[in-house]
Structure 1
Amino acid sequence: MPKVPSAPISVYALRRIFSLPTFSCKTAGTGSHKGIRQYLPPDEYQYTTALSCCQSFGITPLLMTQVSNRQLAKRYVNSNLSDEGMAMRFHLNGNDWLLAPLLPHEFWWRQAWKEEWSPAGCPPWGEWMRACVPGDVIADTLDAGRIPHPYRDLNSLACEWLSERDWVYRKDFTVPDDWQGKHVRLRFDGVDYACEVYLNGQLLGRHEGMFTPFEYDVTSILRFGKPNCLTVLVEHKPPVDVVQGQIGWTSRARVWKSRFAYDWDWCTRLVPLGIWQSVSLLATDGAWIEDVWVRPQVAGGVARIEVRSRLWSLPSASVAWNLSWRVEDPDGHLVLHGSEAVQLDDTQPLQQVTTLEIPNPRLWYPNGMGEQPLYRLSVQLGRDAHISDEREVSFGIRTMRAIPNEGAPPDALPYTLEVNGRRVFVKGWNWAPHEQMYGRVQPERYERLLTLAKHAHCNLLRVWGGGLLEREEFYDLCDRLGIMVWQEFPHSSSGIQNAPPEDEAYLRYIEQQARQMIPLRRNHPSLVIWCGGNELMDDRYVPLTDAHPALAKLKSLVQELDPDRIWLPTSASGPVEGASAELAGTGKMHDVHGPWVYLGAEEHYRFYNVIDPLYHSEFGVEGAANLQIFERFISPEHRFPPDATNPIWLHHGSWWIHREKLEALFGRIEDLATFIRASQWMQAEGLRYAIEANRRRKWHCSGVSPWQFNEPFPNTACTNVLDYLGQPKPAYWWARRAYEPVHISLQYEKLTWRPGEKWQAEVWVHHSGVQPVRAHWSVCLLALDGRECARFGDTVEVVPEAAVHAGHVECVLPTEAGVWMALACLHDERGGILSCNEYLFSTAQPPMQPLLEAPRTTLRVWHRHQQVGIKNVGEAIALLVRLMPQEGQWLLCEDDYFCLIPGETRMLSVAGKGTIAVEAWNSDSHRVHL
C-alpha cells in the first residue's frame, strides 16, 4: 500500500514478528523414505513445530512429541490417583505398517488374513511395502519408489490404477502384559472407504464410510504381552456408478466418499484409499465415555454450560460409578470442579446431563472482532479411586444466530451472522482439501494455510461439499484463530443432474453417516453452519429447499444433534442459483454463486456494480500459478504455450486456460514469465473489485466467500489464491487489502478509457470497527513515469460497521495513450495511513500493454533483523513489487504486490528465515537473506 509523499510511513511496520513452522524428522532403520513426507516409527517419532508468533496472528507455539506406546499406555490421567487407576490408549499410528496390493477378491482366495501370509509371488511387486498410518496408498506407493510423482506432467494418468486394487495393511504390535483384566476396544477414526478388519486371523467385521469412526471389542482376542497381528483389507474405490466426479448425476452418487478426487476442474483424477485417520487401542475397567457434548449458553453475564456425557458399561460393570469433571479457564486456572454418582446399565448408554455456570465468561469472537479464549473441560469416569476413562474437550463460549439482511425480501433466509450480539460481515473464503493425497497428516501445512487465512482478515471458511469433513486439526486451529467454519455434508452438483437420491435406502444411509459425523465436530466454537451440500438444484436449476427428502433428513439430524448451529439447505440458496445482472433489483438473488472468471475490461465492472445478492458464497477469477509451481511440477518443454494445444496445460487446468482473453488486454505474449505476471494481475484486479463491490452493499449483502482459497493439486492456472506449495499469488494480497478493517475503495465503470475522455470514480470507505473515525481521503492520478496528473481529497466521518460513500472524483485524462495509476489513500487526523489502494486504468490499445513496456526504475533493497526495506530510487513508478521466498521456505510478509512512487520507501516485517527475491515489473531482482 503506497502513500502520498507527505504521509508518515512508520505505520507499515509490524509490532511483532511471527516465525512460521519448520518440519524436521529423522528416519530410523536402513535407507531413507523419500516422498511427500517422512515419518518415524512410533517409538522414535518426534514432531516439533517451531512456532514463535505474535498475538495479532493468534498462534501459540506447538510442541508435539510422541513417546513410546508403553509410556503412553502407562500415563496417569490424574496424578492424585493411585497407580491402579488409569485410562489407557495404545497408539497404532506410525510408519511401521506393511502394505501390499491385490486384485479385487484376491484377498479371500489367497487367505491373506492369516498371520503367516505374505505377498511373495503376488503381482505386481511380490513383497511388502512400508506404509504410514494415517495415510493413503498413493503416498505410500510413491514413497516406495513404485510410481512416478503423480503431480508432475501427465504422471497421474499412470497412477489411476492404484485405486482399482484392494490393499492389505498389516501391523504387528505388542500390548503391555499388565493390560490383562482390562476391557480393550480397537478404534479406527476413519478408513477410506470400505474395509474388513482381522486381528490374529479372526474377522472383527466390515465397515463402510470414510467419515465415520468404528470400534471392535478385542478383549478376548488380544494376546497380552505377546505379538499381535492386525490385518486390514481396504477395498478398491467405489465405482463411478455410486460416486460421481464433477460431471455426472448427483442422484447416482450414493456413497459419501470425497468426490473431488474423481476429477474436478482444479484437480486430476487420483482417488485416495487407505487408513486415513488414527488407529488405537483403548483400555478401560469396563465402563467408558463415548461422547462429551458441551453446550454453552450466555445470558445476563453468566455462561450456563450444559454437559451431556454419553456413558457405556459392560454387564460385569453395571454398578454405581463416579462421574467427575473440572473446568479450566483459557489461562489454565481451575474455575469449576465437582462429581456426581451415576448408575450404568449395560443394555443401553446413559445420557448424563450436568449443568455448570461460569460468571463473567470470556467470550469467543471471530477473527478481527475480539479474542478467541478457549476453556477446557475434563470428564472422568471411575470408582473406588480408579479412573476407567477420561475425555477432554476444548470449548468456547459465545452466542450465535442468523438474522435477516437489511432490505431482504420476506421469503429470504437470514444470512447475517450475529456473534455475541454483534453483526458479522463475513470476509470468507471457500476451502478445498489441502492435499489430494489427504490421508497423510500434515499439521504444519494446516498451520501455514490457516495462518495465511487469518493474516488475510478471513473470518469464515466454507468447507465445500465435494471435499472432506475436515480433520480435528483443522477445527482446532480455526478455534484458536477465530475462523468460523461453514461445513457442508458430502453432497455436490454434477453438471448433468444436481439433486441427491430420495429413496428410503439412501435416506437410511445418510442418517447413519450423519448421525456419527455431527457429534465429531459440534464442540468447536468455530463451527457455525451445517449445510446440506454444494449447488443442489432441481432440473430447472433452482436451488433445493428443505422440502427435498435428503435435505429434510439432514436438517432434522442437525436439529436433534447440534441445534445450536445454523442450518442451510444448500449453497447457493434462494430462488436462483447464479448471480445475474439482469436480476438486479428483483429481490431474487439471495445466496448466489458465480461468475468464476474475469468478465472483461468493461463487463466485469458493470456486472459487479449492479448485482445485489444477500450473500455471495462463490465467485472468483482465474489466474496462472506462481513460477515455482511450473519449475517443480512441469517439465521445461511443456511450460509453454499456455493454451489448448498443450496437453500439460489441459491436464493441469483446462477449465482455466485464458490466453485469448489475456492477450486482448496485454497484446501477444511469447514467454511464460510475462504470461504469469499478466494473468496474476488480471486475477488480482478482478477479485479485488468483486470483493469491494459486495462490501459496498454492506448489510444488504452480509458477506462474501470467493472461490477458492487453496488447491490440493498443482494447477497451471486456477481460481485459487494460494498455490499448492502454500505460497500466495498476487490475488491473495489484493483480496487481503479489500478485507482490511478500515479500507478505501474506488467504484468505476470500466478499465479502459479513451485519451482525453473524462475519467470518474466514486470513493468509498469501509469500516469494521465499533468506534467512529474522522479521516481524510485523497486520490492522486499518476502517470507511470511518476508525473501527477490530478489530485482530489476531502474529509469523511467513517461510521462504525458500515460502508460510506465518501466522494466523487473526475478529471479529463491526458491525450496521450498509456496506463495511469489512481492512488487512493485514507489518513487519520494525525496524518497516519489507515488504508491505501492502487488502481490501474488505460487509454491504450491493447489496454495494459504499456505495463509490459513501462519505463525502468531502480530499487534499493536492504534488511535489518526481520524487516526488509525497499526504496524506489528511480524516476518511474515501481510497478507491482513482489517479495517471493525461495521454494520450500514458508515466510510471511507484512504486505506484498504494491507499487512504489519515486522516492517512496517501505519497511516490511517478515516472519521466518530464508531468502526472498524482491522485484517490480520494471526493475531488476534483488535477493535478501534473512
Structure 2
Amino acid sequence: MSSYRPLHDGWTVTAVSSTGQLRPVVAGLPAAVPGCVHTDLLAAGLIEDPYLDDNEDRLTWIGRTAWSYETIFVWESAGDGADDDRADLVCEGLDTAATLVLNGVEIGTTANMHRSYRFPVRHLLSEGENTLKILFDPPYGYAEAQRAALGDRPGAYAEPYQFIRKMACNFGWDWGPTVVTAGIWRPIGIETWSTARIAEVRPLAAADGTVEVYVAVERAAERPLTLSASVAGVTESVTVAAGQRRTVVTLAVPDPDLWWPRGYGEQPLYDLVVRLEDQEWTGRIGFRSVELDRTDDAFTFVVNGKPVFVKGFNWIPDDCFPSRITRERLAERFAQAAAAGANCLRVWGGGRYESEDFYDLADEMGLLVWQDFPFACAAYPEEGRFAAEVEAEAREHVARLARHASLVLWCGNNENIEGHADWGWQEKLEGRSWGGGFYYDLLPRVVAELDPSRPYWPGSPYSGSPDLPPNDPAKGTVHIWTVWNTHDYTHYATYTPRFVAEFGFQGPPTYATLRAAVSDDPLTPVSPGVAHHQKAIDGDLKLLRGLGEHLPRPDGFDDWHYYTQLNQARAMAFGIERFRALAPHCMGTIVWQLNDCWPVTSWAAVDGGGRRKPLWYALRRAYADRLLTFQGDQGGTLAVVNDTDEPWSGELAVDRLTLAGEILAKERFDVSVPARGTASVKLPEGGAWAGHPAGEVLVATLDDVRALRFPSEDPAMDYPPAEMDTVVEEIEGGLRVRVTARTIVRELAIFPDRLDPRATVDDQLVTLLPGETAVFHVTGGEVDPGALVRHPVLRCVNEPR
C-alpha cells in the first residue's frame, strides 16, 4: 500500500542573510506553499507589487537574500508497519539551491528548479511533532559562485542565469522584469509505501494501436510483483520478478481512432491505467505518429503521414510566479491561441518545463507542442554538477511527457548554437565549454533512449549540421530578427525560408493593462512608468522608426498607442502571409510571442492582463484556413492558400476601384487549389495601378474571403476624411455596434477597455469600402454606448482631424 500526505500548511519564511542589501526584517512570515518569497512578501504587504511602475527596481535584494522556510507537522505511524515501511519526502519543485533539514538532521541538497527530488526520511520521523526546514541560498550568490569557480561565459544579458538551473527569464529579459525568486514552487509532501511503488510510467503509443508501457519500480521487498496495463478495453499483465526494477507491457489496440493536430481531425484520448499490486497510475494517451521530414533541407512535421503547416506561437511562462498560473488561466490562453487559428505552441528555452495541465490541455485541444530544453541565449557550463543535473532533469521530463500526443519535438536550446557561431562567443570562451555537449550528445542520447517516437532537433535556429551556418533560411529553422531590430517589416519579403521558428514585432499592451500597471499622470509614450515597462534595447525608438512611411507620425499618446499597435499587427500579418504563400517550400511560422508574463510593451498578441491586442485579430485573419494575399512588387501576384482537407475552387474576382468605390477594371480567374495546397495567380502586368496610385485600391474576392491591396502607404493615399453612420444597440450579453461607411474607412478599431477594463470586442482593424457595414459585439463591463463611437475609443487611420 501507499499513501501521500501533502505538506502545504503551517509554513513560515524568514530572511536569514543577505549581502550588502538593505531589506525589511522578515521573520516567521506566513508562507504559501506552493509559492515563492515574492508572493509571500506581497501578501503580507511588505513589498509593493513588482509589476507596478518601477517597483521591481527596489526588490533586487530578494534574489540576494538567503531564505528559510519552516513548518511543523504531526506524524503518526500506521502502527503495524503495513503501509509505511518507507517514507519519502517528495519535493516536486524547489527554487533553487536548497538544503533540507528534518528534525535537525540534514537530509539532502538541491540545485535545480527544473527537477523533482525524493529523500528517504522514515528513520528520521518522530511520533508527534516534526520540524522541516528548507534553507534556500541566495540565487545570485549561488550563480555567481559557480561562475567564479567555472569561469565566465557570454550571454545575452549581464546576469548569471546560465550558472544556475533555474528559469532564465527570472533574471529579466527584453520583455520581462528581473524578479529572482526562491521558494517551494511546486507541491511537497510525504509518501509512505511498502513492498514496492510505481516510480515511473513511460507509455509510447503508435498510430497502429501499439502501446509500449515502460514501468520503473522501486522496491522495499524482493518478491515477485504483478503489474498490469489497460487501455481501450485491452489489458495485459506481467510478473516483475524478484530483483527486477524495470519492465515493459505491450498492448495492441485494434483500429484506434487517431489523434490529429487541430484543423486536421479530432483529438481522441484514451485512459491508460497501470496497476502494481494495489497501486494505480492513470494518464491519457493518443494514438498518432510524428516524423520530421528533412528532405532537401526542409523542416516539415508529418503527423499520421500527413504534412502539417505549422501556424504557431512561442510560449513564455505566463507569470513570473508560477504558483499563480492555474489550469483555468492556461485554458484561457490556449483558447486564445486556438481562436487565432494556431495549431502549435513552442515552449521557449528561457522558461521551464510546463505543468501537466499545460500538456493535458494541448492534448485536448490539438495544439502541437514544440518543447525546448531550458537553455537560452547563453553559453552554458558542462562541468561540475551541471552535467549531472541536466541529465537528471532531462530524464525526468522526457519520461514524464512521453504520454502526451501533442508533444511533437524535443529541441536542445534557443539560440545558443547561433550564439556560439555568430555572436562572438568563441573568443570570449577561451576554450571553455559552452553547452554543445548537451545539445549534440547528452540530450539526443536521452531522447533516443527514452522517447524514440519523437524527433530531436539540437537547437533553433539550426540548419541541420554543426558545420553549417545555423541561421540559414534555406535550411532547417530560422529566427528572423532583422525586422524589428534594423529593417522595415517589408524586409520579410526578401526571405524564402523553410520554417520560421521565431519572428516578431513590438506593440504596447492594451490601454486597460497599461493604465492598471502605470500610475503616470499624464500618460505619455515616454513617461517614467511607460518607459519602465519597455524592456527592449531602444524599444521606443524602434517602435517609432518601425512606423516608417506606413502610418502618420503620432500626435500624443492616443495616436502613439493606436498607430504602434496597428503597425505591429500589419507587420506580423505581412510576414505570415509571405511565408504561407511559399508553402510547401515553407512549412511553418511560429510567431514571437503569444503571451506576456507581466504588463509590458512587447511582441505578444495577448498582453500581461490577458487582453487581446490588435495583433491578435490580425493574426486570426492571417492564420485563417483559407487566405488570399497579394504578393510581389505592387501586388503583382495573388496567392491562394487552402489549409483545409477540401479543394477550393471558384471564380476569383480582382477589381481595381477608386477610393469612392467606382470600378475601374475587372479581372476574373478560374482557380482550383488542392487540399492543403497553394496556388499563385499572376495578375495582368501594369493593370493593377495603371491609374492614380494614391486614389485606388485593389480588391480580390473568392467565396467569402477577401484581400485588399493599397498602392501607396497610408500617409501618401488620398483618403477622404472618414464618414460613417453608427448604431449602438443593447443585446443579450452586451452591445452591438453597427458601423456603415459613407466613405472608405481604413483599419477601423473599437477599444472598449478604455471605458471599462472588463470590456472586450470581437473584432478589430476592419477596412470598409463605401457602403459596407461592419458589426462589432462588445461584452463585459459597463460601457457608455455613446462613448463607444467617439474618439479615442473608435479609431481609424483616415479619421477627421
Q: Distance in 2 between matches of 1:737 and 1:618?
A: 19
Residue in 2 that maps onto 1:118: none
1:135 and 2:30 aligned:
no
Q: Structure 2 counterpart of 1:426, which letter?
A: V
Which amino acid in structure 2 is aligned with residue 93 of structure 1?
H
Corresponding residue to 1:549 among 429, 432, 437:
437
- Contact kept? 2:549, 2:713, Cα under 8 Å: no
Relative distance call for 1:632 and 1:320 in structure 2 (3 A) is same
The amino acid that maps onto 2:239 is A
Unaligned runs of 5+ in 2: 148-152, 427-432, 796-801
Partner of 1:192: 95
After TM superposition, the structure 1 = structure 2 runs for residues 844-883 of structure 1, keeping only pairs within 5 Å, are 846-847=715-716, 854-862=721-729, 864-865=731-732, 869-882=736-749
Q: How does 1:266-665 map to 2 (within 5 A)?
A: 266-299=175-208, 303-314=209-220, 317-327=221-231, 329=232, 335-345=233-243, 350-382=245-277, 387=278, 389-405=279-295, 408=296, 412=297, 414-494=298-378, 499-503=379-383, 506-537=386-417, 539-541=420-422, 548-551=436-439, 552-574=441-463, 575-578=468-471, 588-595=474-481, 597-598=483-484, 604-605=489-490, 607-637=491-521, 639-642=523-526, 648-649=530-531, 652-655=534-537, 656-657=539-540, 658-662=543-547, 664-665=549-550
How many angstroms apart in 1 are the aligned matches of 2:219 and 2:302? 41
Amino acid at match of 1:842: S
Candidates 758, 765, 777, aligned match of 1:897: 765
Q: 1:825 aligns with which of 676, 701, 704?
A: 701
Match of 1:111 in 2: none
Deviation, 1:418, is 0.6
- Residue 190 of structure 2 aligns to a residue in which SS? strand
Deviations 1:621-676 (A, max 9, x none): 1222211122111123363244xx85741552343212244375434423212111
2:712 corresponds to 1:812: no
CA contact (8 A) 1:501 1:550 kept: no
Asked if 1:262 corresponds to 2:171, the answer is yes
Q: After superposition, give the CA deviation of every residue in 1:298-318 in whole Å (9 maximum; x if it has no partner).
A: 33xxx111111111111xx22
Change (3 A) 1:139 1:126: closer
Q: Which amino acid aligns with 2:618?
A: W
Q: Give how far 1:740 is off.
A: 1.2
Q: Distance in 2 between matches of 1:895 and 1:252?
A: 40
| C-alpha distance in structure 1 between counterparts of 2:737 and 2:659, whole Å | 18
CA contact (8 A) 1:530 1:567 kept: yes
Distance change >3 Å, CA 179–CA 459, structure 1 → 2: farther
CA deviation after TM superposition for structure 1 residue 873, in Å: 3.3
- Counterpart of 1:5 in structure 2 is none
Q: Which whole-Å CA distance do the structure 2 matches of 1:841 and 1:681 have between them?
A: 18
- Please give the alpha-carbon distance, in whole angstroms, between the structure 1 residues aligned to 2:773 and 2:721: 20
Residue in 2 that maps onto 1:53: none
Paired position in structure 1 for 2:799: none
Describe how 1:748-827 pairs up with structure 2 within 5 A: 748-749=632-633, 760-781=635-656, 791-808=666-683, 810-812=687-689, 815=692, 817=694, 821-827=697-703
Task: State the 1:905 CA deviation.
Answer: 4.1
Deviation of 1:211 after TM superposition, in Å, equals 0.9
Structure with higher helix content: 2
Check if 1:173 corresponds to 2:173: no
Q: Give distance in 2, aligned partners of 1:359 and 1:503.
A: 48
Per-residue deviation at 1:805?
Answer: 0.9
1:132-159 residue CA offsets vs partner (Å, 9 max, x unmatched):
2221111221111111111122111001
**8 Å CA contact retained: 1:135, 1:439:** yes
Residue 15 of structure 2 aligns to which amino acid in structure 1?
P
Q: Is the 8 A contact 2:512 2:757 kept in 1?
A: no
Cα distance in 2 between the residues matched to 1:352 and 1:540: 43
Any residues of structure 2 matched to 1:612-761 within 5 Å, and which?
Answer: 612-637=496-521, 639-642=523-526, 648-649=530-531, 652-655=534-537, 656-657=539-540, 658-662=543-547, 664-715=549-600, 717-749=601-633, 760-761=635-636
CA distance in 2, matches of 1:909, 1:925: 14
Which piece of structure 1 moves more, 740-749 or 630-639? 630-639
Distance 1:178 1:240 in 2: 46
Shift of 1:126: 5.0
TM value normalised by structure 2: 0.87
* Structure 2 SS opposite 1:289: strand
SS in 1 for 2:11: strand
Other structure's SS at 1:150 match: coil
Could you give the per-residue CA deviations for residues 501-537 of structure 1, whole angstroms, max 9, x where no partner exists?
A: 3547643442233223322222211111111101123
Aligned-partner Cα distance in 1 for 2:762–2:383: 53
Q: Secondary structure at the match of 1:186?
A: strand
- Unpaired runs of 5+ in structure 1? 1-85, 107-121, 330-334, 581-587, 750-758, 828-832
- Corresponding residue of 1:92: 7
Query: Matches of 1:926 and 1:882 in 2, distance apart?
Result: 6
Which residue of 41, 51, 62 maps to 1:162? 62
* Other structure's SS at 2:598 match: coil
Q: Does the CA-based 8 Å contact 1:596-1:619 persist in structure 2?
A: no
Contact 1:571-1:617 within 8 A present in 2 as well: yes
Which residue number in structure 2 is paired with residue 229 of structure 1?
A: 131
1:900 aligned partner, one-letter code: L
Aligned residue identity for 1:234: F
Equivalent pair of 2:72/2:132 in contact (CA under 8 Å):
yes
Q: CA deviation at 1:610?
A: 3.3
Calculate percent identity across the aligned residue pairs: 27
Q: For the Cα contact (< 8 Å) 1:254–1:501, is it kept in 2?
A: yes
Q: Secondary structure at the match of 2:422?
A: coil
Q: 1:478 to 1:246 in 2, by over 3 A?
A: farther
Gap change, CA 1:325 and 1:817, over 3 Å in 2? closer
Q: Is the 8 A contact 1:246 1:264 kept in 2?
A: no
Conserved 8 A contact 1:367-1:457:
no
Q: Structure 2: how far apart are the matches of 1:203 and 1:140?
A: 25
Moved over 6 A (4+): 249-252, 542-547, 887-893, 916-924
The amino acid across from 1:676 in the alignment is H
Provide the TM-score with structure 1 as the length reference. 0.76
Describe the SS at the equivalent of 2:331: helix
- Residue type matched to 1:622 in 2? Q
Question: In structure 1, what residue type is equivalent to 2:286?
Answer: G
* Distance of 1:731 and 1:917 partners within structure 2: 25
1:692 counterpart SS class? helix
